[in-house]
Amino acid sequence: MKIYINGKFYSKEDATVSVYDHGFLYGDGVFEGIRAYGGRVFKLKEHIDRLFESAKTIMLKIPLSSEKLMEDVVHTVRVNGLKDAYIRLVVTRGVGTLGLNPFNCEEPRIIIIADKIVLYPKTFYENGLSVITVPTQRNIAEAVNPRIKSMNYLNNILAKIEAINAGVHEAIMLNAAGFVAECTGDNIFIVRKGVIKTPPLYMGVLEGITRDEIIALARRFGIEVTEEVFTRHDVFNADECFLTGTAAEIIPVVKVDGRVVGNGKPGKLTRRLMAAFHELVRKVGVAI
């Protein structure tokens, strides 16, 4: 495996960063997870655009143009001989001092990893996932805005620990007001009386690339989709529930906090969207 670091490729064993890098010291940086399917990188421009937005918010200047960064992502996948891949694109603040001041950092560091990922076992896509809600709340926008895809993922990791300790793979996180926000690594959707609902961005939600694509897909099918506030009560009483994310793609949820969702099986609309999404990702994207 060859890892891209600031324009050069290194073996996995030799791909290292300084212990003085603020990404290592403080989680000071941004990242994207991107997928390639059948020799095409899916939604690459959208991922790069979101990366630049996250970087702008934290005042991190990426030293490459978006066009050059897209070229380097594709080249990294090609160098590793992959057709289907999970790509991790990271931009750290770079080497600095032990103090917090980010403006002491010399130069941002760009890292691109192209590898494989299997987030959930195949049986979960066929039979559905059980999840719980956890005490750990989603970060509030006035602290670390969840729309920034930052390297500091401790908020999500703490919630993930609670999920694993409870014997499940994923957890629903509520915001400070007690409304459903998102999961530790995925956006959440429910279906009620034929209408698909997902929390609005101001609830403390990452604007997921897969989230947006599923919304667009559903609307092309003539299915009503709303972005609205809802609580655990609404999730418990939903007809269907599913999660979306770059790594997870789209996965059904059949039980939440011990309550069976719908009939306890992946729902009709969920299965339709799963099939449509899997067909779509191999037809569009930037060729490798």
* pLDDT values of the chain reduced to their tens digit, one per residue, 288 residues: 999 999 999 999 999 999 999 999 999 999 999 999 999 999 999 999 999 999 999 999 999 999 999 999 999 999 999 999 999 999 999 999 999 999 999 999 999 999 998 889 999 999 999 999 999 999 999 999 999 999 999 999 999 999 999 999 999 999 999 999 999 999 999 999 999 999 999 999 999 999 999 999 999 999 999 999 999 999 999 999 999 999 999 999 999 999 999 999 999 999 999 999 999 998 888 999
Return the DSSP state at 20.
T
Catalytic residue among 149, 160, 265, 268: 149
Domains and their CATH numbers in the chain: 2-115 (3.30.470.10), 122-280 (3.20.10.10)
- State how far the Cα of 82 lies from the Cα of 43, in Å rounded to an integer: 17
Nearest to 47 by CA among 85, 88, 13: 88
The whole-model pTM stands at 0.96
What does the pLDDT read at residue 282? 87
What does the pLDDT read at residue 246? 96
Our answer to whether residue 193 is catalytic in this structure is no
CA distances from 263 to 208, 236, 260 (A): 28, 12, 7
- State how far the Cα of 136 lies from the Cα of 188, in Å rounded to an integer: 17
